[in-house]
Amino acid sequence: TIGPVGEMVVSNKVIRPDGFSRSSVLAGGEFPGPLIIGKKGDQFKLNVVNSLTDGTMHRSTSIHWHGIFQNGTNWADGAAWVTQCPIVPDNAFLYDFPVYQQAGTFWYHSHFSTQYCDGLRGAFVVYDPQDPYISMYDVDDESTVITLADWYHDPAPEHTGVIPPTANTTLINGKGRHVGGPPVDLAIINVVRGKKYRLRIVSMSCDPAFTFAIDKHTLTIIEADGEYTAPLVVDSFVIYAGQRYSAILNANQAPGNYWIRANPDIRGLPGYDNGRNSAILRYQGAPVVDPTTQFVSTRPLKETNLRALIHPTPPGRPEVGGADVNINIPHRFNGQTFRYEIGGHAWENPTVPVLLQILSQAQQPQDLLPEGSVYELPPNKIIEISLPGTGPEVGGPHPFHLHGHSFWVVRSGDSTTYNYNNPVRRDTVNTGGNDGNATIRFVTDNSGPWFLHCHIDWHLELGLAVVMAEDRQGTPAHVNPSKPPAWDQLCPIYEEENP
Ligand code: C2O
């Protein structure tokens, strides 16, 4: 683990998390990358050093701290071509940002092309020593992190087609078994009977959603994407790419071994398959053997049953279009261009990152590029964004993530109705399928350009993204208010790779 101050060297390494050897792009030489840990109020100083050499994968990089608001530090958001140029090989970039409002479960990943599918992803936990809520749950241990990932045997840049590649394996805490592969070790979560654990489940998926469950145990959900929820008891839940949940596990069963299951929604990979898409919950004193438990779900999560514990009611009139600014941006797959479009435009990386356009045009603002993909939002207003899928080729469900904010989910893919009274707050929402719609509300209290995109990384690469340029005039011009490097340090070298 590292943090809040540390160095992350990004390098290539041959690893075999599922028994198959391949070169990968790793932070700190590990998969998943090192767990980053800090406390609410910490100043994080994470120096990312690019030591990439393997030309079969992207050699530039950039790291996004998924879910961290970056209030006042938009420049540290890590989205290549939105807030910075990529970090080219043999260069470093210091991400120097405070986390003073937030605590919970986050993650980090490369935000350069589809690079995180090649390995650059890890969990990021912010503790709150004065947490007023966790005492309600009488938790003995809140440090267990369970990461879910898809894994591919080919380097991501080889996938140029329109149809996303099919993962060869899915991994829990970096371990899994591929079809026909060797019986390598699975991840083991050790518990003691009678204790309560806060499990932090992080989906680092490039594509599939996972159905997560632990045989014979219920899970009390208390957090979604860094926001506390009212406690909700379930026995399984679907978690989309980019999402996180905290769930309380009461280790109250007979001391033995139980399957921890994460079933991906991808064709070609078998469903729940003991010993493959799974990890093991092992009680103290249990024999070191594989579980023989079965999965029966009677209380799956309905996302519409989740409630924000804090700030439950979104501001604005409780009706569709009742915000100060209401934006309706349909998305679809364009069968002529083979690109995804939002509001009629597929995202194309601009040659100058959006943040640098804003800072360099402070005197004479021009329209921001890429044309049609940047929406300007006024400060201190209530915003509603509706993201309808316009079938039949929309290819959902798409988990949309907004940088820089949590939002109220007034409608999600699970539902055809709106909840303006007490919806969940989170940062990544499933829009549903062809005729689905996700509608979100938030307040523009965080200046800077923020990416809003599908977190299926293959879809982002195909253009399924826009930028919300919030409070253009107030965009923080200094890299760090306490120590302002020149803004052009965000782009030490321009040329190299712009995929
Ligand atoms: Cu987790 Cu723009 O991403």
Name the closest-CA residue to atom 3, ligand 1: 66
Q: Is the CB of 307 under 6 A from ligand 1?
A: no
pLDDT of res. 295: 87
pLDDT of residue 483: 42
In ligand 1, the atom with minimum distance to the C-alpha of 451 is 2
Q: Residue 111: CB within 6 Å of ligand 1?
A: yes
Does residue 144 contact residue 201 with C-beta atoms inside 8 Å?
A: no
Residue carrying the six token digits 């409070």: 471
**The pLDDT of residue 497:** 45
Q: CA 255, 274, 108 angle in degrees (round to 5)?
A: 90
CA gap 136, 194 in Å, rounded? 17
User: What's the pLDDT tens digit per position in 362-395?
Assistant: 889 999 999 999 999 999 999 999 999 987 777 7
Q: What is the pLDDT of residue 274?
A: 62
Domains 5-131 and 325-490 share a fold: yes
- Give yes or no for a contact between 1 and 35, defined as CB atoms under 8 angstroms apart: yes
Which numbered atom of ligand 1 lies nearest the CA of 67?
A: 1
pLDDT at 485: 43
pLDDT of residue 488: 56
Does 453 contact ligand 1 (Cβ within 6 A)?
yes
Q: How far does the centroid of ligand 1 lie from the alpha carbon of residue 289, in Å?
A: 38
Summarize pLDDT for 258-289 with one digit per residue, the tens: 999 999 988 666 666 666 789 999 999 999 99
Ligand 1 and 59: CB distance under 6 A: no
Architecture of 5-131 per CATH?
A: Sandwich (2.60)
Q: Residues 68, 124: contact at Cβ < 8 Å?
A: yes
The pLDDT value recorded for residue 494 is: 44
Report pLDDT for 250.
97
Architecture of domain 325-490: Sandwich (2.60)
Which segments of the chain have a pLDDT < 50?
Answer: 481-485, 493-499
- Complex ipTM over 0.90: yes
pLDDT for 360 equals: 83
Nearest atom within ligand 1 for CA of residue 107: 1
C-beta 79 within 6 A of ligand 1:
yes
How many Å lie between the centroid of ligand 1 and the Cα of residue 96? 18
> What are the extents of the domains in the chain?
5-131, 141-301, 325-490
Whole-number pLDDT of residue 249: 98
**CB 316 near ligand 1, within 6 Å:** no
Cα 452 to averaged position of ligand 1 atoms, centre (Å): 8
Residue pair 206/456 in contact by the 8 Å Cβ criterion? yes
The pLDDT, as a whole number, for residue 484 is 37
CA of 256 relative to ligand 1 center, distance in Å: 38
Entry pTM? 0.96
Secondary-structure class of domain 141-301 per CATH: mainly beta
